[in-house]
Chains A and B, each alone.
Chain A
Amino acid sequence: MNAIELLAAVVLLPFLAAPLAAWSARFNRYAAAWVAGGVTLLALAIFSWLVVLHIGQMPVATSHAWIEAAGLSFGFRLDGLSLLFTGLILVIGLLIVIYARYYLSPNDSMGRFFAYMMMFMGAMLGVVLSENMINLVIFWELTSLASFLLISYWQHRKEARYGARLALAITGAGGLALLGGVLILGHIVGSYELTDVLASGDLIKNHELYAPALILILLGVFTKSAQFPFHFWLPNAMAAPTPVSAYLHSATMVKAGIFLLARFFPALAGTELWVIIVSTAGLITFLLGAYTALFRHDLKGLLAYSTISHLGLITLLFGFGTPLAAVAGIFHIINHATFKASLFMVAGIVDHETGTRDMRRLGGLVKYMPHTAALGMIAAMAMAGVPLFNGFLSKEMFFTESVRVAGDIGPVWLLPILVSLGGLLSVAYSLRFVHDTFFGKPDGDLPKKPHEPPGMMKRPVDLLVVLCLAVGILPALVVGPLLHIAVTGVLQAEPPYYSLSLWHGFNLPLLMSAIALIGGLLLYLNRAPIFRWHARSLAHLDARTVYNRLMELLMRTGAGVTGGLDNGRLSRIVVLTLVFSLIAGLVGYVQTVGLPGVQAALDRGTVEDSGDWVTWLGMLLIIIATLVTVIGHRQRLFALITMSVVGLGVAMIFARFSAPDLAMTQLSVEVVTMILLLLALFYLPQQSRRLSSPSRRWRDAGIATVIGGGIAALTYAIISRPFETISGYFLEHSVPGGGGTNVVNVILVDFRGYDTFGEITVLALAALGIFAMLHNLSLPSSRRDPFGRAWSDDPHPLMLRTFAQIILPLTLLFGIYVFLRGHNEPGGGFIAGLIVASALVAQYMAFGIENTERKLHLPIHGVIGAGILIALGTGLVAMVVGVPFLTSNTWHFTLSLLGEIHLASAIGFDLGVFLVVVGSTMLILLNLGRLTDHAIEHPDYASIEASPADSATRGGRDA
């Protein structure tokens, strides 16, 4: 195995750690943190080793086929850009784990927190390390989901739930757009592998589908990285615990969008469309975020808007589309991650130790927590772009690039002025962060007496702050090599020359920095009137209002459409479905063959076996019984009996036309249906009210006739002409492929075994669902029959009990016989299951539930579970011996007494089907039977004849 294959391990390790962290927290709440930290360290170690091995030969990629038809492969890639991001995710992740270990209070579930966080870390690593674009989108969506779970971590808080929903809606919608964009991109290039895509920049940019692909991908980018107009989810995401805000919503996840900009930089950037969209969104976000941050009173709110602003700054840099701007963008990603994560952690410490994050209440904390205050000040100076801190360097580069491209975007003075204004605002809010928290006079009404936090809570911040300083003072030494590798990864080429020194001489960018610093200071000193003006005129503006209105409109439209189609009455739904299929069928048919073709199709046919007179009489019986059912359906028991005649007739027709399996299935289903409906009918009125007006009934009769006639014509057209059926294939392969001569059963348990497996699972789920709904429910019952006579007082007549006892072993024997012969003769697990279930339910009818349960000891839930497990096990055995899931095997051997035995492994699968059918049928029927509460008399049941009010349909309007 090549070492690079281990990249997959780096991504998958955190996913494995997630359940482990949740599980370990059961024993010791800090164990979860140890697991998370340990796994992060391990992933970091593997990754570092890989980097050392491959440092000279990047990019390297590895790829395994996954779903090739969809262009999906499980591939990972290591180049400068993914190296930078993986490093950020793992290193900051590790620091956050340490911090969170001390941040979470004893009431918070550590296991859940670290499980979610590991899920997020794995997903994020997947995004940055993916080689296949679809793979990338899958991980991208996983980050949205993990973010949702983490924001809503304090589920009892309303704002946490709202913030989580908002974030999921926005980023999820963006993910969908991104998928569309990626699919178009893959279509243009002909490959979903990034290596191919990044090499085809010219092809993509000249393709006619470039614009839609770009816009869709940018939608994904802007939603994820909180760019205007999708920025508003980020401040609401601050309802998350602070470690989450520091990790996801400042250092990593919101940078995923930026990452994508950098990733696709060689493939998409540089066109006019790119420059216009990306730089406009970036510029607006930069200014809007910086402005709003200044007026937030909440520490985390300020930081959230400042994050939005800095993300806008980076987006703007990528929007310039020049290689040098990309260098500045990458540099600022590094710097922002370090100082912003520190600031969030400082805010968390303040919140943790004082109980509030409101800057109007905070103040003077430097006396109580000087160490934390120092950390906060250094990080804030980096954020403000003060010289000797890392933020200054990337901000200088940003100013330089703005001046350089200013001529291309608007008037030459506009861009430098706007970006200086943004810089000025960020100086002002950085000052506010420091001054309002650590200086000034405290009001003294803090919820807690402040003091320094535990030492380990500060260590992560210490480290990051030292980095801010180190990068700021000795940039070329500390960050130079990393930056060089990362930029090479972004550009997929040797980066242009750039200088990483502190001093570039007196020039325009330096002047802009000076203006920003001094202007910001002045702005902060004169803040009172500006704050008053803001509160009066702009504070009420909120992008959420627009979003909420849009959502409300969406919901109302959805409810309107649904309500129009489905008014709660079956007749409306049936009419709409039938009329629609009639129209669709007619249009399709007339368009393909035309009306004369319809006539010809009906004329031309010949039927070989038109049946004998007995068959025709049988069909007549079915038709008459159907009509009688329709006419008499309001007498429910009567309708049930006539329907049973229809079922019997249909089974006879199946038998007559050589479909014994169908006949047997039909007959056994009839019995179970009868029991089921009788059980339900006991709680329902015996007669139904006339609900439709005569004209409506005639209309419905007309629709039904037309539909029925159409189906009959279609069926006639099909059976009356020669055609090649697919049964030949199955007849031919049934014995060699499935080891059985009963094709119907071989199809069920072998050819389409996977399908059957799904169906029995659904059956089991349905039975358990019904059990859950009926459990502990009791319904009132009547003491009189529909004619007002008292019920017989003998619930278990002697004759019934005697006969039931005699017939049980015979029926069971018959069931086993049908099961065993099923693979070669008509029968099988499904029919046998129904037979056995009916036989057992008959015992319950004869002896009562309690009595029978005492005798039988049948763990019904266990039967269902065993059935599923046996069916699954049969399939897995096939996989163990190296053939696809559910492939069957057959054995022939001779036993004394019994003679030659022919055994197919599919019988194990059929046993599973059998058990699930027995269990589910009995579970449903018995729980319906248990509903009766003889203690309660149904209030208006006795007088049902006098007032046939139907509570089930009362209130429903006509279709």
Chain B
Amino acid sequence: MIHVSLGIALVLIVIAMGLATYRLFKGPDPADRVLALDTMSINGIALLIALGIWFETSINFEAALLIAVLGFITTVALSKYLIRGDIVE
């Protein structure tokens, strides 16, 4: 049962990732791309966790946690760049 729902989840995550990729390449605004990158990293977290459940391992949990914590900082840096140019002032 869990594998069926995991399969569905994986398909959906991959589709989400594909859509984020499309938005990232298409734009048109830099802000769209930044948002797409942020979405992609969140999809990445989901993918890592889902795969972890699939392979019955917790070894990638910290990697997912790392994306959760630091992905925020990347997004902040990019956004700050868009509104101010100078990110550390």
Contact = CB atoms under 8 A, between A and B. Distances in A.
Contacts of B66: 664, 667-668, 814, 818, 831, 835
Nearest to B84: A791
A792 B83 contact: yes
Interface string A645-687: 1001001100110101001100110110011001101100000
Contact of A642 (B25, B51, B86): B25
A674 B40 contact: no
B63 A655 contact: yes
A651 B27 CA distance: 24
Given A621-B17, A628-B25, A929-B87, A641 B33 contact: yes
A641 B37 contact: yes
Given A621-B21, A839-B73, A644 B14 contact: no
Interface residues of A, number: 66
Contacts of B63: 651, 655, 660, 663-664, 667, 826
Contacts of A561: none
Contacts of B89: 795, 848-849, 929, 932
Nearest to A941: B85
A826 B21 contact: no
Contact of A842 (B40, B60, B73): B73
Contact of A614 (B47, B78, B84, B86): B47
B70 interface: yes
A848 B37 CA distance: 25
B37 to A, nearest CB: 5
Provide the main secondary structure of the chain A interface: helix
A838 B68 CA distance: 13
A652 B84 contact: no
B16 interface: no
Interface in A820-851: 825-827, 831, 835, 838-839, 841-842, 844-846, 848-849
Contacts of A826: 59, 62-63
A644 B74 contact: yes
Contacts of A928: 88
B84 A641 contact: no
B40 A810 contact: no
A849 B88 contact: yes
Contact of A637 (B21, B30, B88): B30
Given A641-B24, A648-B44, A929-B89, A785 B59 contact: no
A934 to B, nearest CB: 8
Given A628-B25, A641-B33, A845 B85 contact: no
A847 to B, nearest CB: 10
Q: Which of B10, B14, B82, B84 has the most CB of A within 10 A?
A: B84
Interface string A629-650: 0000000011001101100100
Nearest to A929: B88
B88 A845 contact: yes
A678 B82 CA distance: 10
Q: Which of B33, B72, B89 has the most CB of A within 10 A?
A: B89
A850 to B, nearest CB: 9
B51 A682 contact: no
Contacts of A745: none
A645 B69 contact: no
Contacts of A648: 40-41, 44, 67
Interface in A590-625: 614, 617, 621, 624-625
A679 B40 CA distance: 23
Contact of A781 (B34, B60, B72, B85): B85
A831 to B, nearest CB: 8
Contacts of A835: 66, 69-70
A815 to B, nearest CB: 9
A831 B62 CA distance: 11
A719 interface: no
A74 to B, nearest CB: 50
Nearest to B80: A845
Contacts of A682: 81, 85-87
Contacts of B14: 614, 617
Given A614-B47, A849-B89, A925-B88, A842 B37 contact: no
B25 A814 contact: no
A782 interface: yes
Interface in B29-82: 30, 33-34, 37, 40-41, 44, 47-48, 51, 59-60, 62-63, 65-67, 69-74, 76-78, 80-82
Contacts of B80: 800, 845
Contact of B78 (A641, A651, A652, A667): A641
Q: Which of A637, A655, A825 has the most CB of B within 10 A?
A: A655
Contacts of B73: 671, 675, 838-839, 841-842
Contact of A679 (B27, B34, B88): B88
Contacts of A681: 81
Contacts of B10: 614
Contacts of B24: 641-642, 645
B70 A667 contact: yes
A403 to B, nearest CB: 86
A280 interface: no
Contacts of B30: 637-638
Contacts of A811: 69-70
A928 B83 CA distance: 18
Given A614-B10, A674-B78, A841-B88, A791 B83 contact: yes
Contact of B34 (A641, A810, A842): A641
A926 interface: yes
Given A655-B60, A664-B63, A839-B73, 9 more contacts: A641-B24, A641-B33, A671-B74, A781-B86, A785-B85, A792-B84, A835-B70, A849-B89, A926-B88
28 contacts: A621-B21, A638-B33, A641-B37, A642-B24, A642-B25, A645-B21, A645-B24, A645-B40, A648-B40, A660-B60, A664-B66, A667-B63, A670-B74, A671-B71, A671-B74, A678-B87, A792-B83, A800-B80, A807-B72, A814-B66, A826-B59, A826-B62, A835-B69, A842-B72, A844-B88, A845-B87, A929-B87, A932-B86
Interface of A: 614, 617, 621, 624-625, 628, 637-638, 641-642, 644-645, 648, 651-652, 655-656, 658, 660, 663-664, 667-668, 670-671, 674-675, 678-679, 681-682, 781-782, 785, 791-792, 795, 797, 800, 803-804, 807, 810-811, 814, 818, 825-827, 831, 835, 838-839, 841-842, 844-846, 848-849, 925-926, 928-930, 932
4 nearest A-B residue pairs (beta carbon): A929-B88, A792-B83, A663-B63, A671-B70
